[in-house]
Amino acid sequence: MNKKIGVIAVDLTPVLPGGENGGAKIFVLELLSRLAEMKVDTQFILLTQAASHEELAIMDSVNMRRLMVVDPVEKNRFQPHLQGIASKILPYLPSRLRRLVSRLGYQLNKKLKHSGTGSLLRDMQVDLLFCPFTAPSYFESGIATVCTIYDLQYKTYPEFFTVADVANRDRTFIEACRRATVLTAISDYSRDSAIAHGNLEPSQIRTIYLRMAQRIAPSTENDNDVLNRLNLAPQRYLIYPANFWKHKNHEMLLTAFAMARHDGLAEDIKLVCTGAPGVRQEWLMSAAHSMSLSDHVIFPGYLPNAELATLMANCTGVVFPSLYEGFGLPVIEAMAAGVPVACSNITSLPEVAVDAAILFDPRVPTQIVQAMVALVEDKALRTQLIQTGLQRAAEFSDGERMAREYWELFQHAFANVKHENMLTGAYADGWIGRCITIQVAPSLTKQTLDLQFTAPEWLPQKCFTVQTSQGGKNQGSPVVFERGNNATLSLPVEASGGCFEIKIGPAFIPAHSGHGDDHRELSVILQNCAVVYADGNYDELFPEEVTL
Q: Is residue 217 part of a domain?
A: no
Residue 181 DSSP code:
S
Residues 6+ apart with CB under 8 A from 514: none
Helical (H) or strand (E) element with 439: strand 432-440
Q: Is residue 216 part of a domain?
A: no
* β-pair partners for 465: 480, 505
Q: Is residue 548 part of a domain?
A: no
205-232: buried (b, 16+ CB within 10 Å) or exposed (e) per residue?
bbbbbbbbbbbbbbeeeeeeebbeebeb
**Alpha-carbon gap, residue 445 to 424, rounded angstroms:** 24
**Alpha-carbon gap, residue 542 to 289, rounded angstroms:** 57
Same structural domain, 379 and 459:
no
Same structural domain, 189 and 329:
no
Q: What is the pLDDT of residue 548?
A: 40
Same structural domain, 345 and 430:
no
Same structural domain, 375 and 455:
no
Residue 347 is part of a domain; what is its CATH number?
A: 3.40.50.2000
Same structural domain, 391 and 408:
no
Tell which phi-psi region holds residue 44, choosing left (phi > 0), alpha (psi between -120 and 50) or beta. Answer: beta
15-39 pLDDT tens trace: 998 877 877 898 999 999 999 999 9
Q: Is 467 exposed, middle or buried (0-12, 13-18, 19+ CB in 10 A)?
A: middle
Q: What is the pLDDT of residue 88?
A: 54
Residue 525 is part of a domain; what is its CATH number?
A: 2.60.120
Q: Angle CA(56)–CA(24)–CA(125) in degrees, nearest 5?
A: 55
Q: Is residue 1 part of a domain?
A: no
Same structural domain, 259 and 148:
no
241-292 pLDDT tens trace: 999 999 999 999 999 999 999 998 999 999 999 998 999 999 999 999 999 9
Residues 341, 334 contacting (CB under 8 angstroms): yes
Residues 6+ apart with CB under 8 A from 324: 151, 153, 156, 157, 247, 346, 347
Residues 15, 21 contacting (CB under 8 angstroms): yes
Among 61-75, 83-97, 437-451, 501-515, whose mean pLDDT is lowest?
83-97
Same structural domain, 91 and 120:
yes
Same structural domain, 346 and 205:
no
Residues 520, 456 contacting (CB under 8 angstroms): no
Same structural domain, 366 and 237:
yes
Domain count, the chain: 3
Q: Which of 415, 443, 462 is the last residue before a domain boundary?
A: 415
351-373 pLDDT tens trace: 999 999 999 999 999 999 999 99
Q: Report the 10 Å Cβ neighbour count for 104.
A: 18
Same structural domain, 338 and 408:
no
Question: Which residues span the domain enclosing 263?
Answer: 225-396
Same structural domain, 360 and 469:
no
Q: Is 293 exposed, middle or buried (0-12, 13-18, 19+ CB in 10 A)?
A: middle
Q: Is residue 365 part of a domain?
A: yes
